[in-house]
A and B are shown apart, each in its own frame.
Chain A
């Protein structure tokens, strides 16, 4: 078996007496599209925050391509090739759409060097990179607009475009379709499927239509714990999963 891209070992996060994530272990294989599902408050986003070190785990280990990264800061993890998008749109509101992508692309292509002697225009080689990413996200005609002026759906696309601009090897998507219309959901789902052809993706998602059609494997969480794991069809038949989702083991 090839080495796991990401391995979570017994990750736990406690907020006071409340355990948001409890003893969670899983591994992500290269090229895999792994979805994490579960009811609201199951600890999915907290788990992502632990993986990117936006939160510090109370216990457990995070291993990235064989390297223990548990003690690293978020920007170090990002530099190791982990890209993340957020559930609540987290773009640079006061920057233009192109600048949003530029900031991420510059970080990846030029190592995040704090160059203060040259003009931004001196980095003209980034312009086609930014242009291509905007085009893929369908945002090229909004390049000069402030991100805050974009529609919600376009902000969600920009959210993912920023993540892709760092050319991550592992992509963590937190509810990429949250709040989107049916049509936009279908488009984003299709985009994630295409992404997964070239990247390893871990996705938190609520919409079963998206999850069931594109995931290779599922992890189901409830009350901070992993309650089921496996291929979509198997998980769908799991009585415990049905109970968590529908409050009954009876078939629906």
Chain B
């Protein structure tokens, strides 16, 4: 297990280094941000069995809350980033506490309803969110914390490195969460909620906490997203974005926190790269989803275990041949 994780981290780091060389830097930055949202969504989908179609609401609330501060105050950068995460976490508690009381399709519909609620609030509350036009004037303050020397974050690669560090730390924190007792309890509750209750766990409370943690990291991603193009677009809170996030998680694979990183990469390649080559690129989305559902139920990350299983069998066969 541990060496798998080490390999995953090394590969992820290599991806972070290579991405800005292959993609426009802004797109590479988006990739990291969506990777964080998708990983935080996987705490709900993969670990809790909660197929939330409301992740964009958490992403958007964080983006608006942090973006509002970045547009209207001179606070050092990390304060609005953390603020956005906290506001999203508080909302996630309210949303989670209600939604986890229903299961299956009713849960999905509730998260969807919350997403639309947030969308229409963003749409109508023009003074704060900019409504349909999006929240303009988001800055990238040079100081990370009050008193620290300034960095010129308007240089794209500097901003990219900053986002890489923040996303990296958040991802490590998510790995710790799934490694913790809470991670184990969530898996148990997903597997058999009645039994988890009968050994004494309040599973609604555990799942609400998962929502809060997921919301915190999605909110942070939202603030970073607002800084990429200096605007928080209303599309970011649309349910379609929630659908894209679920796409990233399922295509990448829910069984590991590294799956959503792969899914986000595929998504960004389709959206930002193939869209410039081919106007009908959404067709590729469909093709990818069909391919994964039909042939790779566990997502692209399953390929890794297939390959490893194959290699292990080959080794075993050679070993037997050697002994014979």
Contacts and interface: CB of A to CB of B under 8 A. Distances in A.
A73 B202 contact: yes
Nearest to A85: B198
Interface in B183-231: 183-185, 187-188, 191-192, 194-203, 205-206, 209, 213
Interface in B242-276: none
Contacts of B200: 75, 78-79, 107-108, 112, 166
B176 interface: yes
A113 interface: yes
Interface stretch (A114-122, A130-138, A217-225): A114-122
A118 B180 contact: yes
Contacts of A95: 184, 187-188, 191
Contact of B205 (A83, A110, A114): A114
Contacts of B197: 54, 73-75, 78
Chain B interface extent, by class: 20 to 34
Contact of B202 (A75, A103, A104, A118): A75
B179 interface: yes
A95 B201 CA distance: 16
A67 interface: no
Interface residues of A, number: 38
Contacts of A86: 195
B236 to A, nearest CB: 27
A93 B192 CA distance: 8
A83 B200 CA distance: 9
A116 B198 contact: no
B82 interface: no
B169 to A, nearest CB: 14
A54 B209 CA distance: 23
Contacts of A90: 192, 194-195, 198
Interface of B is mostly: helix
A80 B206 CA distance: 19
Interface in B163-188: 176-177, 179-185, 187-188
A94 B190 CA distance: 10
Contacts of B180: 115-120
A48 B27 CA distance: 58
B202 A116 contact: no
A39 B58 CA distance: 53
Contacts of A114: 181-182, 185, 205-206, 209
A75 B200 CA distance: 4
A116 B183 contact: yes
A106 B213 CA distance: 21
A91 to B, nearest CB: 7
A103 B209 CA distance: 18
A118 B173 CA distance: 11
A101 B201 CA distance: 14
A229 interface: no
A103 B176 contact: no
A117 B174 CA distance: 10
12 contacts: A73-B202, A78-B198, A79-B200, A91-B192, A92-B196, A95-B188, A104-B199, A118-B180, A118-B181, A120-B181, A123-B181, A162-B199
9 tightest CB-CB pairs across the interface, nearest first? Answer: A78-B200, A116-B182, A104-B199, A92-B191, A116-B180, A74-B197, A107-B200, A103-B188, A114-B182
Given A106-B185, A116-B177, 14 more contacts: A79-B200, A83-B199, A90-B198, A92-B192, A93-B192, A106-B184, A110-B181, A113-B181, A114-B181, A114-B182, A117-B180, A119-B176, A120-B181, A166-B200
